[in-house]
Each structure stands twice: as C-alpha cells, then as structure tokens.
C-alpha cells in the first residue's frame, strides 16, 4: 500500500485568524499545547504561524530598540535629554508587541501538500524545507495537516516500512 497525505493527516485542524493579537496567540499555543497554527481567513489558508515566528519578531523588536537606544545615547547624534532607561525601552517594546497581530508575524510563503501526495513526498518536503508541519490543501481550502510527528508515529508503530 502506498500511503498518501490523506491517510496520515489530521482532518480536524485548529486554526487562528490573521487579526488575532499576539498575546491571544500565545495563550492559544499554551492552552492547545501546540507550537503553531495554520492561519485561515474566510475559509482559505493565508499563512502559518509558529512560536518561532513570534520569537523572530521579538528579536527584531529588540534589535530596533537597541539601535534606537544607542542612537539616543550617542552625544554626537544630538541627544538633548536623559538617556532612556532599559526598563522604559522594554516597556515600549512590550507595548508594541501587544498590538501586533498574527498577520504581522505569520509566514505568507506557504509550503503545502495535496491529499493525494505520497507519504514519501510529504516526508521529503518536511525534510528538505526543514518544517514540522505541512497544511494539506485542496482547492485553496485547508483540509488537514501532516506533521513530522505523524510520519514518525507511523514508523514507530511499525505501520510503514522503508524500502
């Protein structure tokens, strides 16, 4: 038997919308015990967001804050008042992060598979693209998701044998 994506995918997929605020996303990740979600808008898959996307954005925000802090701390840059404290910078960055939405950090360039793709192709895509989840899409609509753990589980349960 040749396994297909439809044979191993989870058809009940938890999703989030692009307008969800990052603090709400963090709560959903914790409550669901997941590391990421497909992003769906109007029934169509528009992105994927993971905890690492949020961390990447935090790094960007920290870098911007450090650059601004260094600029204002440089007497040659025309600083005329007291240097902003680290606590003030952190509060400003924190306030900005709280206003960001899923659409601001999600991955737009999607890697997807179809329900008819072979498990071998799915596994090869997971490996080559270094991703842990692949949305299964049919006609632009999300119909399931295959994770690296789904593939590992099949081998661990001795349900699939390598050639």
Number of H helices, E strands in the chain: 7, 4
Ordered mean pLDDT values, 10 residues apiece, the chain (163 residues): 91 96 92 93 93 77 61 55 63 71 94 96 96 92 94 85 61
Q: Cβ of 109: how many Cβ atoms within 10 Å?
A: 6
Q: Which residues contact 51 (CB under 8 A, 6 or more apart)?
A: 29, 35, 36
Instruction: Please return the burial class of 156, using the count of CB atoms within 10 Å of its CB with bins 0-12, 13-18 and 19+.
Output: exposed
pTM value is 0.74
């Amino acid at each position: 038997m040749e396994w297909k994506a439809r044979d191993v995918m989870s058809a009940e997929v938890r999703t989030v919308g692009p307008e969800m605020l990052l603090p709400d996303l963090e709560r959903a990740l914790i409550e669901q015990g997941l590391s990421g979600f497909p992003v769906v808008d109007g029934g169509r898959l528009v992105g994927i967001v993971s905890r690492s996307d949020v961390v990447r954005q935090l790094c960007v925000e920290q870098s911007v804050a450090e650059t601004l802090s260094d600029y204002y701390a440089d007497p040659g840059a025309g600083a005329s008042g007291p240097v902003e404290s680290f606590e003030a910078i952190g509060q400003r960055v924190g306030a900005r992060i709280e206003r960001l939405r899923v659409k601001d950090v999600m991955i737009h360039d999607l890697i997807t598979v179809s329900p008819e793709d072979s498990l071998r192709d799915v596994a090869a895509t997971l490996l080559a693209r270094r991703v842990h989840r692949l949305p299964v899409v049919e006609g632009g609509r999300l119909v399931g998701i295959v994770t690296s753990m789904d593939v590992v589980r099949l081998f661990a349960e001795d349900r699939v044998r390598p050639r």
